Chains A and B, each alone.
Chain A
Amino acid sequence: DAGVIQSPRHEVTEMGQEVTLRCKPISGHNSLFWYRQTMMRGLELLIYFNNNVPIDDSGMPEDRFSAKMPNASFSTLKIQPSEPRDSAVYFCASSLHSSGDTDTQYFGPGTRLTVL
């Protein structure tokens, strides 16, 4: 079975440009998570969805960041306009959330974003 798929794997862009990161969760999973990894802040949750509905977006840094999940098999994280401090690795993860289960999150390979 395919795992979580993210694209692109690497993105280099100029400051001020729009960046869109994409994620396809594991088929059948109903929760999707976006995490960001930086040297300064480590791994932190940006936003997560359950059944395509945003549940916790408290980690979204500011209005420049937005995330959507139009259907159960696709999500995007958009940064507009991008800034050098957005440079990081962005992970997408998915899990099958059900009452009483461990709900293990499975991670995609990540997108390394560099904003010049």
Chain B
Amino acid sequence: AQTVTQSQPEMSVQEAETVTLSCTYDTSESDYYLFWYKQPPSRQMILVIRQEAYKQQNATENRFSVNFQKAAKSFSLKISDSQLGDAAMYFCAYRSNFGNEKLTFGTGTRLTIIP
């Protein structure tokens, strides 16, 4: 079974600075997808960014980018120019590309933005 580990329960960053959230995963599969979801206090789960394992290029979405290291099974999220609205829980998630569509989530990292 796949597992996802987020080793940083809490992180904080000064507004306008850059922060990196870590995620590692364990799988024996070669083809899969990885996601970062954001959960603000409203508890809505919002997709931040996704990465296909077969793509070498790291995904980017505006201020959000990932560092995908397939061999190391690492998938970190970098947030540039942090804004107050980025304060939330961030969850890393794994989805197999072999039949089962379920998402396996990490335990989350709570990000605080310091004004």
A104 CB contact (under 8 Å) in B42, B43, B47, B91: B47
Asked if B44 and A109 sit within 8 Å, CB to CB, the answer is: yes
**Which of A20-28, A41-49, A62-70, A73-81 lines the interface with chain B?**
A41-49
Q: Which residue of A lies closest to B100 (CB)?
A: A56
Verify if A50 is at the interface (C-beta below 8 Å from B).
yes
Known: A31-B101, A48-B101, A109-B44. A104 touches B107 (CB 8 A): no
**CB of B56 to closest CB in A, whole Å:** 16
Asked if B50 and A42 sit within 8 Å, CB to CB, the answer is: no
Asked if B33 and A105 sit within 8 Å, CB to CB, the answer is: no
Asked if B102 and A56 sit within 8 Å, CB to CB, the answer is: yes
Which chain A residues (84-107) contact chain B, with CB distance < 8 Å? 89, 91, 93, 95, 97, 102-107
Q: Which residue of B lies closest to A105 (CB)?
A: B103
Known: A102-B50, A104-B35. A42 touches B101 (CB 8 A): no
Asked if B101 and A95 sit within 8 Å, CB to CB, the answer is: yes
A41 to B106, CA, bound (A): 10
With a cutoff of 8 Å between Cβ atoms, the chain B residues found around residue A55 in the complex are 100-101
Verify if B86 is at the interface (C-beta below 8 Å from A).
no
Asked if A103 and B95 sit within 8 Å, CB to CB, the answer is: yes
A89 to B44, CA, bound (A): 11
A41 to B90, CA, bound (A): 16
Which chain B residues (24-71) contact chain A, with CB distance < 8 Å? 33, 35, 37, 42-47, 50, 52
Give 1 or 0 for each of B90-115: 1 = CB within 8 Å of chain A CB.
01000100001111111110000000
With a cutoff of 8 Å between Cβ atoms, the chain B residues found around residue A106 in the complex are 47
Asked if B44 and A110 sit within 8 Å, CB to CB, the answer is: yes
A112 to B44, CA, bound (A): 12
A91 to B103, CA, bound (A): 13
B44 CB contact (under 8 Å) in A35, A95, A103, A107: A107
A59 to B105, CA, bound (A): 14
Asked if A48 and B47 sit within 8 Å, CB to CB, the answer is: no
**CB of A21 to closest CB in B, whole Å:** 15
Using CB atoms and an 8 Å cutoff, list the residues of chain B in contact with chain A.
33, 35, 37, 42-47, 50, 52, 91, 95, 100-108
* In the complex, the 3 A-B pairs of residues with the closest C-beta atoms, listed nearest first: A107-B45, A43-B105, A45-B102
